[in-house]
Amino acid sequence: MSNTTRTVNVGLIGLGTVGGGVARVIARHHDEYLRAYGIDLRLAKASALEPERAAELGIAPEAFTTDWHEVVADPAVDIVIELIGGEHPATEIFESAIAAGKHVVSANKALLGRRIDYLGDLAAKAGVQIRCEAAAGGGIPIVNALEHALVANGMLTIAGILNGTTNYILTRMTNEGLGYEEVLADAQRLGYAEADPTADVDGFDAASKVAILSSIAFHTRVTTDDVYMQGIRNISAADIEQARQMGYAIKLLGIARMTPQGIDARVHPTMIPANHMLASVSGAMNAVFAVGDAVGETMFYGAGAGAFPTASAVVGDVLELANGIASGLDLGPEPEPFPRTVPIRPIDDLETRYYIRLSVADRAGALAPVVAAFAQAGISISGINQLESDGSNTCSVVFLTHTACERDVQAVCAALEALDEVERVASVIRIEDADAWSEGAEKND
């Protein structure tokens, strides 16, 4: 119980799913925030394009506007919450709120991922903070953990299931043996996937989150353009079944690693050992596996989307800022302006193991030039599995490699495509040796 009470006013822009959750959480917990922190947290002004949302959410008519400018310009508003998503006018909302000396809380991963450097610099110069817990992992408190509880570490690896839509699709493909298109259509019907699923299934959403988490974990600037991206459209039921037989699960992972050559930041379908903790994350849930040099391996699990989980993260950020404001602290900018201090390692330099599935002519001697192509590229094969022919002219052959360089794998795939014996390179999936994620961690005595 605090002795002093301080009113902190928030302005909320966007009353969609998450905005509605935020309005409800603030209203429901107002008295607890007052009791626990001495903060009288008020929704002073809210805006949305649909006036009926205000009534639905119990927002008084005088606290509602359809013009976001009025929220930012309201002199009572201390903190602006941007929850409209997209690039415009979200960028202008950030710019004008920062120019007015107001802190900004946002869940806008697409904008922050692409423009974290520009917006971060603006905020630093204005002496205000941008907080974005909800932008990576929804309700999972991973941003807070990286900024506070894990700050003593040199972070080594972040590997996460950062997109619920794709994890839902891959989980159902795995459990039910269904094809990608079939599950996607079902996911759209059930509301798990958007009508236009591009941002999710092509990896853009997860890449934005990798950019945000890498910037915070590695104290540098990583934008979405720095993150190599490949989605799940080409994953087939055959690949998932092959992976299962070999003891692996296929997940769309966002991976960021600090390497001696720079930051390795990527999103792609990944084969991980079936007994790894990330392999057991199913459905639309998210998880982040974070390795620090002192703490070792940690794992954070939770809902990556949804009105209330996301509102939990947004209001957590708001309360942290409100606490600072109420305590009379000069919050100032983030502790460091995060200049780009570490290079990005190109994907061509990646070294990992690979799963390569080929559609090959089903005739005597067809594998000889295929194996020769691997040898010529200097890629060592660790396993071969030819699936029995179904009587057609071609058959599937799966190659697993020892550790190889991405550049050489791309070269061998081009060489294989050019062979008469190879109908096509059906899929190439990177295999992650999860033990490598902890290289560099301190050993306990």
CB of 107 to ligand HSE, least distance (A): 8
Number of H helices, E strands in the chain: 14, 17
Region binding ligand HSE by CB under 6 A among candidate stretches 161-169, 259-267, 315-323, 374-382: 161-169
Give the C-alpha distances (Å, rounded to integers) separating 19 from 45, 148, 309, 314.
12, 26, 12, 9
Distance between CA atoms of 178 and 192, rounded to whole angstroms? 17
Q: Is residue 108 at the binding interface for ligand HSE, with CB under 6 A as the rule?
A: no
Smallest gap from Cβ 205 to ligand HSE, in A, equals: 5
Site for ligand HSE in 331-360 (CB under 6 A): none
Q: How far is the CB of 164 from ligand HSE (least distance, A)?
A: 3
Question: Which residues are bridge partners to 363 per DSSP?
Answer: none
User: What is d(CA 202, CA 166) in angstroms, rounded to the nearest whole number?
Assistant: 9
Within 292-331, the residues that bind ligand HSE by CB under 6 A are 304-305
Between 183 and 305, CB nearer to ligand HSE = 305
Interface with ligand HSE, residue 200, by CB under 6 A:
yes
**143 touches ligand HSE by CB under 6 A:** no
Rounded to an integer, what distance in angstroms lies between the CA atom of residue 180 and that of residue 233?
7
- The binder of ligand HSE chosen from 82, 133, 205, 421 (CB under 6 A): 205
Segment 401-406 long-range contacts (CB within 8 Å, at least 24 positions apart): 401/353, 401/354, 401/356, 401/374, 402/353, 403/351, 403/352, 403/353, 404/351, 404/352, 404/353, 404/354, 404/379, 404/380, 405/348, 405/349, 405/350, 405/351, 406/347, 406/348, 406/349, 406/350, 406/351, 406/352
Give the list of residues 6+ apart from residue 322 with CB closer than 8 angstroms, or none: 8, 10, 33, 37, 39, 41, 78, 79
Q: Smallest Cα–Cα separation from 227: which of 247, 242, 241, 213?
A: 213
Comparing CB distances to ligand HSE, the nearer of 26 and 110 is: 110
Q: Where are the beta strands (DSSP E) in 304-361?
A: 351-361
Amino acid in position 384 = I
Q: How far is the CB of 233 from ligand HSE (least distance, A)?
A: 15
Binding segment for ligand HSE (CB under 6 A), chosen from 147-155, 163-171, 237-245, 252-260, is: 163-171
163 contacts 304 by C-beta, under 8 angstroms: yes
* Residues whose CB falls within 8 Å of the CB of residue 249, separated by 6 or more in sequence, listed in order: 174, 243, 271, 272, 273, 274, 276, 279
- Residue number with CB closer to ligand HSE (140 or 290): 140
Q: What minimum distance in Å lies between the beta carbon of 130 and ligand HSE?
A: 18
**H/E segment holding residue 273:** strand 262-273
CB of 136 to ligand HSE, least distance (A): 9
Contact status: 165 vs ligand HSE (CB under 6 A):
yes
Cβ proximity to ligand HSE: between 117 and 205 the closer is 205
Stretch that binds ligand HSE, among 64-72, 158-166, 261-269, 367-375 (CB under 6 A): 158-166
Pairing of strands 285-292, 262-273: unpaired
Q: Is 85 helix (H, G, I), strand (E, B) or coil?
A: coil
Q: Residue 118 CB, nearest distance to ligand HSE (Å)?
A: 21
Contact between 362 and ligand HSE per CB under 6 A:
no
Does 164 bind ligand HSE (CB under 6 A)? Our answer is: yes
Position among 163, 224, 352, 396 found at the interface with ligand HSE (CB under 6 A): 163
For 367, the 3-state DSSP assignment is: helix
> How many C-beta atoms lie closer than 10 Å to residue 157's C-beta?
24
Positions 243 through 272 that interact with ligand HSE (CB under 6 A): none
Q: Is 251 a catalytic residue?
A: no
| Residue 48: CB minimum distance to ligand HSE, A | 19
Place of tokens 């947004």: 314
- Half-sphere exposure (Cβ direction) of 330: Cα atoms closer than 13 Å: 3
Q: How far is the CB of 315 from ligand HSE (least distance, A)?
A: 17
Considering the candidates 102, 209, 251, 443, report the single residue annotated as catalytic.
Answer: 209
Told to check if 133 binds ligand HSE by CB under 6 A, we report: no
Half-sphere exposure of 117 (CA within 13 A, CB side): 12
Number of residues that bind ligand HSE (CB under 6 A): 8
Stretch of 7-15, 33-41, 157-165, 421-429 contacting ligand HSE, by CB under 6 A: 157-165
Q: Which stretch binds ligand HSE (CB under 6 A): 67-75, 95-103, 160-168, 294-302?
A: 160-168
Report the residue number, 269 or 304, with the smaller CB distance to ligand HSE: 304
> Which is closer to ligand HSE, CB of 200 or CB of 432?
200
- Which SS3 state, helix, strand or coil, does residue 292 take? strand
Catalytic residues: 209
Residues lying near ligand HSE in the complex (CB under 6 A): 109, 163-165, 200, 205, 304-305
